[in-house]
Amino acid sequence: MVTPVSWLERNPTYKDMLENIEQRDLTTFGFLGYPVLMAADIILYKATRVPVGHDQLPHLEITREIARRFNHLYGEVFPEPEALLTETPKLPGLDGRKMSKSYNNSIYLSDNAETTSKKVMSMVTDTNRVRRADPGDPDVCVAFNLHRLYVPQEKLDEIVPACRGAQIGCVECKKILASFINERLAPFRARREELSANPGFVDELLQEGSRKASLISDVVMTEVRTALKF
């Protein structure tokens, strides 16, 4: 109730997805109001640092504005959380846009090695490199964005000059990328299979997490009701 609709409509993520996703009707309250739900999840636990990707920064700024406005109207209750960015704050998708399920350009932890390799091999590279003999430019290659994340530096030091000198082709280069991605994701896939085989443990873990979260949220909601004079 303290969030103006204009704050949500100016959200660049909202406007970007309206322009890019045509197969779904996104003109709904659920989609427009998603940043408010995100804000509630954050400020309910009085978070001060939030690990987010670069594309979530506008959402976090809305969270800060909501907390600021609530505090202005009802008294200091919520801190204004700051973003906690990693060294790689944006993960590019298969088509160069941000990796998103909505864009159908994602590599999932649930994908097996074969599916991951097929997705990597479908990626766009340097669109100016028409033939294998043409020099490439890693700086404009969509796939190379993932190289920087998954391929060790010593291997990158070999690939970059080889690409620029047309000594390695895009197909070979993407095979190298796929192998390193699969190597990095192997432990996650193994752990996922282990947890899938033990759903009772997962349920117990979620219940215990919910219990711990409730201890915090109950206290905060008491503060909120007091501030609102309920």
Give mean pLDDT, residues 169-192.
95
- What percent of the chain lies above the pLDDT cut of 70? 100
Contact 84, 49 (CB under 8 A): yes
Mean pLDDT for 103-125 is 92
- Share of residues in the chain with pLDDT > 90 (%): 69
CA atoms in the 13 A half-sphere facing the CB of 158 = 8
Please, which residues have CB within 8 angstroms of residue 23's CB and are 6 or more apart in sequence?
none
Average pLDDT, the chain: 91
Residue 224 belongs to what H/E stretch?
Answer: helix 199-228
Please give the pLDDT value at position 31: 86
Which residues contact residue 62 at a Cβ distance below 8 angstroms, ignoring those fewer than 6 apart? 3, 7, 8, 11, 35, 36, 39
Q: How confident is the model at residue 199 (pLDDT cuts 50, 70, 90)?
A: very high
- The domain 5-90: what is its CATH number? 3.40.50.620
Do the Cβ atoms of 81 and 64 come closer than 8 Å?
A: yes
Domain 101-196 has CATH 1.10.240.10: yes
CA distances from 165 to 109, 134, 175, 219 (A): 34, 8, 18, 63
Weakest mean pLDDT among 24-28, 111-115, 201-205: 24-28
- Residue 114, C-beta contacts closer than 8 angstroms, at least 6 positions apart: none
What is the mean pLDDT of the segment spanning 170-192? 95
CA 95, CA 92: separation in Å to the nearest integer? Answer: 8
Give me the pLDDT at residue 114, please: 96
Whether the pLDDT of residue 61 is over 90: the answer is: yes
Model confidence at 86: pLDDT above 90: no
Pick the closest to residue 123 from 184, 186, 176, 166 (CA basis).
176
